[in-house]
Amino acid sequence: MKPIEISLNPLDNDRLAKLCGPLDENIRQIEAAYDVAIARRGERFALRGDVAQARLAARAINFLYERADEELTVEDIQLGMVELNNTSQAMQPANGLLTRKGDLHGRTPRQTEYIRNIQEHDITFGIGPAGTGKTYLAVACAVDAFERQQVERIVLTRPAVEAGERLGFLPGDLAQKVDPYLRPLYDALYDLMGFDRVAKLFERQCIEIAPLAFMRGRTLNHAFIILDEAQNTTPEQIKMFLTRMGIGSKAVITGDVTQVDLPRGHKSGLTEATRILTGVRGIGTTRFLKEDVVRHPLVARIVAAYEKDAAEQNHEDHHRPERQG
């Protein structure tokens, strides 16, 4: 099959070097993302593979070349391709978020919708697969609201449900046992506010991270509250959480309904809540798809492969003949 050939014009060797990265590492990222082979000689590129994918890869090379005013990291390349893949869809940027990340914004239409839902609703559900930014963007919106003095504190929580491990076998007291479950929330805060500032806000009790069980019996006023991994709540737990909201508070509930770690036979509170609360005024819902994954390009393919396998298994189950007694 004849390759698709492109030549960067006008040629800027410095920009070309920044596009390609050390040892053409950035070009390898583009190859992986579009499943094509790319050969380069100077500013000339030859792309082999599926014609449609090769054309998309060529478009990405030109797109990223225009952005190569400064060094492009692997993350810049991957996020740039996510943005490019969604430029054909209408995307109106949500209001800029006040975080340490000056250019933080939605990379896909649904991420932008999610930020807008959080800004415009008192309760927002973010549902979808891993890597779509559900937790990170929710924490970013919480930081933004705190920095704008719209809330007085940030409360982050998640259920301490084991995904195959047993809490009882972990060393330490209860706080130390549940800490690994809360680590993604700490990581997002440190990234968005800086370690020192987060530490000071913990000392002032302006930020609180705790297991969901610690929320019972409380009323949280003027707070931005995030319930992460909500697929692992029971219907009773998520109802308890939603009724913790006090005056001047916002709540964001995130989860992936395809990764429920509850014991077999137990209903997911997230599934029940979204069913019961559909259409309730003041509640926003964003449902992310695999196209919204902004991690390594392979993550989107992994999600797609699992979705395909689940559909095939479901099809086989429905068409398997019943055993005769």
DSSP letters for 137-197? HHHHHHHHHHHTTS-SEEEEEE----SSS-GGGSSS-HHHHHHHHHHHHHHHHHHHH-HHH
Q: What is the mean pLDDT of residues 142-164?
A: 83
Position 51, amino acid = V
Q: Which domains does the chain have, with CATH numbers?
A: 4-85 (3.30.1370.10), 109-306 (3.40.50.300)
Comparing 266 with 322, the larger pLDDT belongs to: 266
Q: Does the pLDDT of residue 163 top 70, yes or no?
A: no
Tokens of 245: 């909201």
- ω into 10 cis (within 30 of 0): yes
Q: Match 């992936």 to its residue by tokens.
A: 256
**pLDDT of the residue at 21:** 92
Tokens of 114: 């999610």
Burial class (CB in 10 A: 0-12, 13-18, 19+), 94: buried
- ω into 3 cis (within 30 of 0): no
Q: Does the pLDDT of residue 81 top 90, yes or no?
A: no
192-225 pLDDT, tens digit each: 999 999 999 999 999 998 888 888 888 899 999 9
Least confident of 116-120, 137-141, 179-183, 244-248: 179-183
Position 292, amino acid = D
**pLDDT of the residue at 200:** 95
Beta-carbon contacts of residue 312 (< 8 Å; ≥ 6 apart): none
85-109 pLDDT, tens digit each: 665 443 444 457 888 887 787 888 8
Query: How far apart, in whole angstroms, are the C-alpha atoms of residue 54 and residue 56?
Result: 5
**pLDDT of the residue at 126:** 96
13 pLDDT band (50/70/90 cuts)? very high
Q: Does the pLDDT of residue 175 top 60, yes or no?
A: no
Q: What is the mean pLDDT of residues 145-150?
A: 91
Q: Does the model's pTM come out above 0.75?
A: no
Element (H, E) at 47: strand 44-48
17-26 pLDDT, tens digit each: 999 999 999 9
Q: Does the pLDDT of residue 119 top 80, yes or no?
A: yes
Give the angle 56-293-48 at the CA atoms, nearest 5°.
25
